[in-house]
Structure 1
């Protein structure tokens, strides 16, 4: 789930990337760890998130009770400390056997020697049945899988849109850029909203590339040239990306959106302070409870190259230094039961990673009130660049986007970010090896 789940990555990205540069050379060599005989340690970022942590505990208990060869022991961390703990443990070659990893970070951790490829053939749920965004691969090898994803969407009140003559878009006919801009102009002119659009600009860290780079991609730009992942110049600062930057800045200059939103954007939306909110599926149930049938769940805008949202959330993996890989993979295989995919979705209000699980949850079933969010995740999700450079890219994009909202020239801000990313790629030999 995104709310705070993705936010930890970028805050430690620079430190992690630095540590990985040193760690990559030694790869998977050195001491093994993570298990004492047939007792395996599992790390999760879910301390403080009891709903999801309870599902993890249930799977561990069920696995331990199901056989008498392996025992999995849990250690949970607050999300704000988790990535730093993994980096430190990797440097000391004291990683656990099993750990969760934020999807966009998989390539970085695999390249750095943190993770080992996994084989979960024979599981109840085949990997091919999952949403593509819930599977982590690097160099054509499987390194991780997740039980859920989340989806971005626009939320609005149907009554407000109808009052102002604004068409409620569908997946067959999403808003165009022109329609969206016209809708915001109408809402602003009405005088009913100080800022008609809420896009969470008070957020931090990974929220920025997760929330806003899909819009840049819909303009035709991207964070890096995905053909080889060897340069950002000409892509992140290309014509289409700069056009996105100018539009993004215009939302502030025209008074459509606050340069920095409040501490709880969804609360502000539900209180009627904004008319349209760019938010995640994690707040869909809360919105529906408050607004009922007046809630409109709206697809992303088509800015010219199709609607796009970010993809990938937290996933499970095995460390490269695990001294009992057979046991670790047995736990991973065991966990891949449809009932657990259902448990995660029910506990966390996330989108199940498989259709079979979605069909067991009323809101996500065909005809369910949130089925459209599953369709968004299936049709619109684009994973963030699958390159070990991603944590650095994430940090650079966040800085550039924040500078743009603060008044920086978009071409200059994106150009500097692209140059810095290219320097990082060059320093790390394009993360070869």
Structure 2
């Protein structure tokens, strides 16, 4: 699976769509309804360019339509690059479909904006309580979406390289500390074998920056926003712990451990031996194992002082607030919640099964399997991105600040400006009340 394809599928936020969403006000009730023509319901997905995942969606629709005669679901697939803009435009025109997928970090924004209706999938084959917590989208105590899979960040390395330089191979029970990690990078740099011993995908854009690096901020003890009320970023995003992360992040470049901007395909560079350690995702685990075999080390995130952290939440299924046949929409959602479909998603997309029952049926992900550690990472370390309608704006501001820091901006000033801009956005939108 191509790094860029899966990375974007993890957490895409189209900037124009995000801006339109955040700048708007809640407006989702009243007016015309849409999304269904009688008992025929339209379903939108972002998977037009992802044939593997789209095939699973088509299978569920075909099975549902064949299982009963009351409702019929019809599919409309969009290229991922156009999807969020299409949703925004349809919402403005009150022409949303009944069923649609939504990137996990955007659930709160779309729910606040009135795009989504709460769902009730009680009585499904798979209870929500059986899922990875990060695969259920909640806002203000209500469920608005659920996903069939998640992904997990991890470090990849060659065991032989780590052993050659006397670097301990971490375990889930004993991850690297900051001191160990810094020492390992220094040793690898000193070897002269690697121009940049660490690869962290700094050539990426968009949501990758928040997905990949904000968990490190959290491991330092900082965060993107004060989650107690979600009313201010000041004192948190630009607080002491966050500034310590930013200073360390910049030092990776200044010490020559990491490129300011990585190549177009960081995983390809890692497999070619250009880097010794790569911060990447579970979507490349199988490819790496095929190439490196038993020499592949799948390593947990570093504990920078406040525990190891990774991002959580991927694409989820939801129901629009303007759907004129909510009974039919919820019937499809409930039908889809069968273990066999959780298995299908994981097998065809290389993602983490959303339930333990599904993991037992996916080669490598069952207990004792070579990729099961990634499921453990997701269960033990995942932190969902801030559950606030302001999140798309927060993510954009964090990306800008982090990029500026790598380019040499003062960490405290860059994070301080981002925090001020976020606070101004919160105030302008009345803290997204309602």
- On whether the aligned pair clears a TM of 0.5, the verdict is yes
CA distance, structure 1, for counterparts of residue 310 and residue 72 of structure 2: 39
Aligned equivalent of 1:211: 212
Q: Deviations over 1:160-201 (max 9, x none)?
A: 000000000001110000000000000000000000000000
CA distance, structure 1, for counterparts of residue 399 and residue 64 of structure 2: 40
The 8 Å contact of residues 22 and 390 in structure 2, kept in 1 or not, is answered as: no
Aligned equivalent of 2:227: 226
TM-superposed deviation, 1:15? 2.8
> Do structure 1's residue 98 and structure 2's residue 99 form an aligned pair?
yes
Q: Deviations over 1:109-139 (max 9, x none)?
A: 0000000000001100000100000000001
Aligned equivalent of 2:131: 130
> Do structure 1's residue 377 and structure 2's residue 378 form an aligned pair?
yes
SS in 2 for 1:80: helix
CA distance, structure 1, for counterparts of residue 322 and residue 44 of structure 2: 14
TM-superposed deviation, 1:292? 0.1
Aligned equivalent of 2:7: 3
> Do structure 1's residue 113 and structure 2's residue 114 form an aligned pair?
yes
CA distance, structure 2, for counterparts of residue 88 and residue 36 of structure 1: 20
Aligned equivalent of 1:159: 160
Q: TM-score, normalised by structure 2?
A: 0.98
The 8 Å contact of residues 46 and 53 in structure 1, kept in 2 or not, is answered as: yes
Q: TM-score, normalised by structure 1?
A: 0.98
Aligned equivalent of 1:419: 420
Q: Deviations over 1:212-242 (max 9, x none)?
A: 0000000000000000000000000000000
TM-superposed deviation, 1:7? 5.3
Aligned equivalent of 2:73: 72
Q: Deviations over 1:267-291 (max 9, x none)?
A: 0000000000000000000000000
The 8 Å contact of residues 21 and 110 in structure 2, kept in 1 or not, is answered as: no
Off by >2 Å, runs of 4+ in structure 1: 10-21
Q: Deviations over 1:84-132 (max 9, x none)?
A: 0000000000000000000000000000000000000110000010000
SS in 1 for 2:78: strand
Aligned equivalent of 1:55: 56
- The size of the alignment, in residue pairs, is 430
Aligned equivalent of 2:20: 16
CA distance, structure 2, for counterparts of residue 235 and residue 268 of structure 1: 35
Aligned equivalent of 1:270: 271
Aligned equivalent of 1:175: 176
SS in 2 for 1:4: helix
Unaligned stretches of 5+ residues in structure 2:
none
TM-superposed deviation, 1:5? 1.1
TM-superposed deviation, 1:14? 4.1
The 8 Å contact of residues 10 and 395 in structure 1, kept in 2 or not, is answered as: no
The 8 Å contact of residues 225 and 231 in structure 1, kept in 2 or not, is answered as: yes
TM-superposed deviation, 1:33? 0.2
Aligned equivalent of 1:294: 295
Aligned equivalent of 1:345: 346
Unaligned stretches of 5+ residues in structure 1:
none
SS in 2 for 1:122: coil
CA distance, structure 2, for counterparts of residue 12 and residue 98 of structure 1: 22
SS in 1 for 2:280: strand
CA distance, structure 2, for counterparts of residue 347 and residue 295 of structure 1: 22
The 8 Å contact of residues 40 and 328 in structure 1, kept in 2 or not, is answered as: yes
The 8 Å contact of residues 13 and 392 in structure 1, kept in 2 or not, is answered as: no
Aligned equivalent of 1:335: 336
CA distance, structure 1, for counterparts of residue 228 and residue 179 of structure 2: 31
TM-superposed deviation, 1:296? 0.1
TM-superposed deviation, 1:2? 3.9
SS in 2 for 1:282: helix
The 8 Å contact of residues 115 and 143 in structure 1, kept in 2 or not, is answered as: yes
Q: Deviations over 1:294-319 (max 9, x none)?
A: 00000000000000000000000000
